[in-house]
C-alpha cells in the first residue's frame, strides 16, 4: 500500500492515520482522498487492526478543508463528481467502518475537515482546535456530508447557523454543542485517544461492529428493526458465549 499523503502506523491494535500535508493545512486534494480510501480498505481487512485514530500532521491543522485550488476549473458535473467520489470512497466508508474510528482534532477542522471529523465515530479535540463550515464564504455549501452530519450531531438550528454564518467554534464551544466528546491539551490529545481505544479494544469486536451499524441507523425508518436484528445476531456467537460465561464465572471476558 503506497500512501504519499498519509502516515500509517499500527501499534497494539490501534492504527494511527495522519494526514500529512502540514504546509497546506492538510487540505484534502484528490490524492489525499484516494489515499484515505486505500488506508480504510486496509483497516477493513487487516485483522491486526482493532480501531483507528485519524489525525492531522503538525500543530495547526487537522484538515483545513477540501483543497480549494482544485475547485476553480470545475463545472456543475465536476463539482457533483468530487462530492460523490469523496462521500462514497472516504466519508461513508469511515462512518460504516466496522472498527471504531476516533478523530483526534489537533487544530483547524474547517469545511471538509469538519466533515471528516464528523464521519468518524466520535471526536476528541485539542484546546487549539477550531470547527466550522465556511463554504458559504466561497459561494459554496458543504459537499462531504456536512449539512447532514452536522445537523445530526448539533441539531438543525445550530447547524443552520454554523453553515449560514461560517462562524468558527473553538474547542470548548464544540464540546458544549456535542460536536466533540473531550478537550485536552495538544500534547495529551493522542494519548487520550489511545487511552479510550485501549479500553474499547478489550470489548467484543463483533458487538462493537453491531453498535456502529445500529447507531448509524438512529433516526432512520429501519433503526429499531436494525437493532432488533443485530441484537438477535449476537446470540449464539462465540463472543457472546465468552462474554456471558465470563460474567457467570466471575472472570474478565477475553475476546482475543
Ligand atoms: N485548500 C487549499 N490550500 C489551503 C487550504 C485549503 N482549504 N487551507 C489552507 N491552505 C494553504 C494556504 O493557501 C497556504 O498555502 P501557501 O503557503 O502556499 O500560500 C497554506 O495552506 C497555509 O495557510 P494560511 O492561510 O497561510 O494559514 P493561516 O494560519 O493564515 O490561516 C486558515 C489558516 C485555515 C484560517 C486559512 O488557511 C483558511 O481559511 N483556509 C481555508 C479554509 C476553508 O475555507 N475551508 C473550506 C474549504 S471548502
Q: What is the pLDDT of residue 34?
A: 98
- Give the tens place of pLDDT for each residue, 178-189: 999 999 999 999
Residue nearest to atom 14 of ligand 1 (CA): 24
Residue 189 CA to ligand 1 center (angstroms) comes to 23
* Parallel, antiparallel or unpaired: strands 51-56 and 6-11: unpaired
CA distances from 173 to 42, 131, 132, 154 (A): 34, 9, 11, 11
Say how far apart CA 212 and CA 96 lie, in whole Å: 7
Go through 59-74 and write b for each residue having 16 or more CB atoms within 10 A of its CB, e for each that does not.
ebbbbbbbbeeeeeee
Q: What is the pLDDT of residue 89?
A: 98
pLDDT in tens, the chain (256 residues): 899 999 999 999 999 999 999 999 999 999 999 999 999 999 999 999 999 999 999 999 999 999 999 999 999 999 999 999 999 999 999 999 999 999 999 999 999 999 999 999 999 999 999 999 999 999 999 999 999 999 999 999 999 999 999 999 999 999 999 999 999 999 999 999 999 999 999 999 999 999 999 999 999 999 999 999 999 999 989 999 999 999 999 999 999 8
Residue 140 CA to ligand 1 center (angstroms) comes to 16
* End-to-end CA, the chain: 27
Nearest to 25 by CA among 54, 69, 53, 67: 67
Q: What is the pLDDT of residue 256?
A: 82
DSSP H helical ranges for 155-234 = 156-165, 171-176, 189-200, 205-215, 223-234
Nearest to 216 by CA among 97, 131, 49: 97
Catalytic residue among 31, 42, 70, 115: 115
Residue nearest to atom 21 of ligand 1 (CA): 24
Domains of the chain, CATH where assigned: 6-200 (3.90.226.10), 205-248 (no CATH)
Query: What's the predicted TM-score (pTM) here?
Result: 0.98
Say how far apart CA 47 and CA 62 lie, in whole Å: 27
Active site residue 115: yes
Q: Which of 25, 65, 111, 144 should be mutated for ligand 1, with most atoms under 8 A from CB?
A: 25
Residue 218 CA to ligand 1 center (angstroms) comes to 35
Q: What is the pLDDT of residue 1?
A: 83
What is the DSSP annotation of 72-140? TT--HHHHHHHHHHHIIIIIHHHHT-SS-EEEEE-SEEETHHHHHHHHSSEEEEETT-EEE-GGGGGT-
* 3-state secondary structure (DSSP) of residue 17: strand
DSSP 57: S
Say how far apart CA 52 and CA 14 lie, in whole Å: 5
* Contacts of range 199-203, beta carbons closer than 8 Å, 24 or more positions apart: 200/50, 200/51, 200/100, 201/12, 201/13, 201/14, 201/50, 201/51, 202/255, 203/255
Q: Which of 19, 23, 63, 64 should be mutated for ligand 1, with most atoms under 8 A from CB?
A: 64
> Quick one: which atom of ligand 1 is closest to the CA of 138?
44
Residue with cell 466561497: 138
Residue nearest to atom 8 of ligand 1 (CA): 64
Q: What is the pLDDT of residue 132?
A: 98
Residue 181 CA to ligand 1 center (angstroms) comes to 26
Residue nearest to atom 13 of ligand 1 (CA): 24
Nearest to 163 by CA among 190, 144, 191: 144
Amino acid at each position: 500500500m503506497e500512501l504519499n499523503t498519509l502516515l500509517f502506523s499500527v501499534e497494539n491494535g490501534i492504527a494511527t492515520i495522519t494526514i500529512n500535508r502540514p504546509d497546506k493545512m492538510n487540505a484534502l486534494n484528490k490524492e489525499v482522498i484516494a489515499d484515505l480510501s486505500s488506508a480504510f480498505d486496509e483497516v477493513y481487512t487487516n485483522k491486526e487492526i482493532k480501531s483507528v485514530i485519524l489525525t492531522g500532521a503538525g500543530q495547526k491543522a487537522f484538515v483545513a478543508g477540501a483543497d480549494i485550488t482544485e475547485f476553480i476549473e470545475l463545472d456543475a458535473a465536476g463539482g457533483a463528481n468530487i462530492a460523490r467520489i469523496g462521500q462514497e470512497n472516504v466519508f461513508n466508508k469511515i462512518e460504516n467502518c466496522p472498527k471504531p474510528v476516533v478523530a483526534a482534532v489537533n487544530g483547524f477542522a474547517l469545511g471538509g475537515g469538519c466533515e471528516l471529523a464528523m464521519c468518524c465515530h466520535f471526536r476528541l479535540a485539542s484546546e487549539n482546535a477550531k470547527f466550522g463550515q465556511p463554504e458559504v464564504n466561497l459561494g459554496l455549501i458543504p459537499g462531504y456530508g456536512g449539512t447532514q452530519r452536522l445537523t445530526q450531531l448539533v441539531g438543525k438550528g445550530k447547524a443552520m447557523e454554523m453553515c449560514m454564518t461560517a462562524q468558527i467554534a473553538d474547542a470548548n464551544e464544540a464540546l458544549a454543542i456535542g460536536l466533540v466528546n473531550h478537550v485536552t491539551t495538544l500534547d495529551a490529545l493522542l494519548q487520550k485517544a489511545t487511552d479510550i481505544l485501549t479500553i474499547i479494544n478489550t470489548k467484543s469486536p463483533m458487538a462493537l461492529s453491531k453498535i456502529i451499524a445500529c447507531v448509524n441507523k438512529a433516526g432512520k425508518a429501519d433503526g429499531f428493526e436494525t437493532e432488533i436484528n443485530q441484537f438477535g445476531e449476537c446470540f449464539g456467537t462465540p463472543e457472546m458465549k465468552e462474554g456471558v460465561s465470563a460474567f457467570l464465572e466471575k472472570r474478565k471476558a477475553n475476546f482475543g
